[in-house]
Structure 1
């Protein structure tokens, strides 16, 4: 194992999904990794995550794919509905798995984070410990420096995984304007499943949507989005959800009845519609929302962060210089993530339709497309969910084999 000096040491600023994936992937390459997380508790409250086949294949490269799939549930048959409950389209989980080489799986972010932490060597993650980049270093020259409450750290590599308001990004690219408001706000929560079973769904209304996704552990991940000014907040976010969605179809009223106001998360949506010039400078790299924040309407934010992490580790070995590896990382990730950000922005404009004629046209289009079968609908994710990592995968199923969905899911 490398020593604690700059050579062989990597410091990851941020302990979210992308930062922890990077820590695991870099550790597997032989780096001595320290993760600095500002929060005192890593457990994300009230949030689920859908892992598409592209992210699962990325996790397979570090041997975690099977373990994560064992914690998750298939995203089963469901589809898109109107606020009144009429089905506009139906999803075909089997067709999606066959097209993209695996299923969509859903789990609570807390389960994912907990597994990452337990995989890492003890003491890797320091909670309640913010990190501030003081010097990005120079390629294969001066080490990078990070300030912590306990003193400065020098590192051969720093990874800025500090989210949408990344101070690391601002330090590397102070001339870049950063993320801009996408016109939406979102709510999320997790509650016990209602007594009456239901099919997973997204329901789209005028400039708003609601999603209800069973987690497979007796709980439901619910999420909503609506157009709203940046920074707008309600005194009671549960009451705000009731005002906006309380008269939508079942099981939405039951889910709202089950949640307490303090368990509702609300965040405004920002995205990096103007890409950065690169995802690295000196010895410091950016990943996830710090590099390419995107709207949630393709469900790819966390998935792209996981991709970033394994590609970064693939190009960097502690025994080699960081300059060529970081340049290769930027060259590989910048075009792909920029394209996903832009595709997600186009989906955002579709969700934002508000007038009755525009909403009716959207509903008719979705319904018409769905009648041609799942293949036409699934094309939306061609070039995204079918991505394969630059390193071999080691978990089963390998080589695109598609497992059977668990019974009852």
Structure 2
């Protein structure tokens, strides 16, 4: 019996674990090296669009995640005073893109992905560096505190400030500050009912969405200098910036404790990489194409990357060809949306709001058109259940 090939995945986040699960199902021996002491993710909730859910179908996880997540219902876009600029029907999006948009805590998704791997496949508190990317004649080598590992494939899923990316492409400028910071909370807010919404103000946005377990996921963003932090605490900063906005925002802020609030500056890769691979190493997720969160596609694209990489694991140039143009276009669109929804120019805000309202009144098809080619993506391989059914019939 031939010995299985060995893949080393650097980074135990959503993209890395999806890649590990997909490669494991394809017969690879997989080792995941995560620098942190646990897989508990830094972050709050994640929205998964139909494109990512179809990618998860390939490894047999799509239906499980659909069941664990809250299916995003009707909602829309509002002004800080509460006026609806647009109303969106969840059914219209599902009909257009072939499935629902769902929301769940990142920890739930991480747990489901990790459960797909055999015992011992994930090593935490395992800092890793790329010692040699390898080539067609020799394996790649990854250095860890416990020694070096040889790999037929290295998957670099080590985030926005990827050390592997710097090793492979030392001339690339790396991530740049996007101009704004974000806050996120996941908390119970008893007695408050609301429709999912995102609210655009002057250089600021807020979003509120229910989770399936009854908690509320809220996020905010504002234009700030890089590295700036509140003089007291981040809850107080949110109160200063959003405390007079429409319901349910004051109730969410009242329910939050200072320790519930996460704050992170947003960075992205303004200059695309020349490739997503070198030697036996493939980059995916934020390491390859970090983008602002304004389209909600960062994690979705990492999941797509992972599934496509497993499909092209014997031809990394084909992986680059499949993923680089798509993710570059989506990242550029996310930057354009960030400039639009984070603008502080009052004249531009007025034009923007008028245009959004007009599009919404014209019908959901026009308003949803911006996600054509994104949310309707389909993976190159069939769903896992379909593969198993075919195998059983042979």
Where structure 2 has 5 or more consecutive residues not aligned to the other structure, the ranges are: 387-394
RMSD of aligned C-alpha atoms?
A: 1.3
Query: Given that residues 192 and 251 in structure 2 are in contact (C-alpha distance below 8 angstroms), is that contact kept between their aligned partners in structure 1?
Result: no
CA distance in 2, matches of 1:225, 1:66: 32
Residue 147 of structure 1 aligns with which residue?
Answer: 143
Determine the structure 2 residue equivalent to 1:402.
Answer: none
Q: Partner residue of 1:19?
A: 16
Match of 1:382 among 365, 368, 372: 372
**3-state SS of 1:119 partner:** coil
Structure 1 residue 356: Cα displacement:
2.3
**2:355 matches 1:365:** yes
The verdict on how the C-alpha distance between 1:178 and 1:46 changes in structure 2, with shifts beyond 3 A counting, is closer
3-state SS in 1 of match to 2:291: coil
**Are residues 1:69 and 2:66 paired?**
yes
1:60-209 to 2 correspondence within 5 Å? 60-138=57-135, 140-209=136-205
SS in 1 for 2:137: coil
Deviation digits for residues 166-204 of structure 1 (CA, Å, limit 9, x no counterpart): 000000000000111111111111001331210000000
Q: In the aligned structure 2, how far is the partner of 1:41 from the partner of 1:80?
A: 37
Which residue of the other structure, out of 244, 248, 254, is the alignment partner of 2:245?
248
Question: What is the CA–CA distance in structure 2 between the aligned matches of 1:39 and 1:26, rounded to whole Å?
Answer: 22
Question: Residues 205 and 342 of structure 2 are in contact (CA less than 8 Å); yes or no, is this contact kept in structure 1?
Answer: no
| Alpha-carbon displacement from aligned partner over 1:40-65 (angstroms, at most 9, x marks no partner) | 12122551001000001111111111
* Per-residue Cα deviation, 1:81-133 (whole angstroms, up to 9, x for no partner): 11111111011100100100001011000000011111211111111111111
Number of residue pairs matched by the alignment: 385
Could you tell me how far 1:394 is from its partner in structure 2? 4.1
Q: Given that residues 187 and 260 in structure 2 are in contact (C-alpha distance below 8 angstroms), is that contact kept between their aligned partners in structure 1?
A: no
1:309-352 C-alpha deviation (Å, 9 max, x unpaired): 00000112xxxxx4xx1010001100000000011111011012
TM-superposed CA distance for 1:76, in Å, is 0.5
TM-superposed CA distance for 1:362, in Å, is: 1.5
Matches within 5 A, 1:3-14: 8-14=5-11
SS of residue paired to 2:309: helix
Aligned partner of 1:231 among 227, 232, 244: 227
The whole-number CA distance in structure 1 between the counterparts of 2:54 and 2:77 is: 27
- Work out whether residues 189 and 251 of structure 2, in 8 Å CA contact, stay in contact via their aligned partners in 1: no
> 2:349, 2:340 → 1: CA distance?
9
Cα distance in 2 for partners of 1:46, 1:181 equals: 19
Between the aligned partners of 2:2 and 2:221, the Cα distance in structure 1 is: 46
TM-score computed with the length of structure 2 as normaliser: 0.95
Unaligned regions of 5+ residues in structure 1, if any? 317-321, 397-409
Determine if the alignment matches structure 1 residue 220 to structure 2 residue 203.
Answer: no
Q: Which runs of 4+ in 1 moved over 4 A?
A: none
Describe the SS at the equivalent of 1:329: helix
Q: Which residue of 2 aligns with 1:49?
A: 46
Q: Which moved more, 1:228-237 or 1:127-136?
A: 228-237
2:338 maps to which residue?
Answer: 348
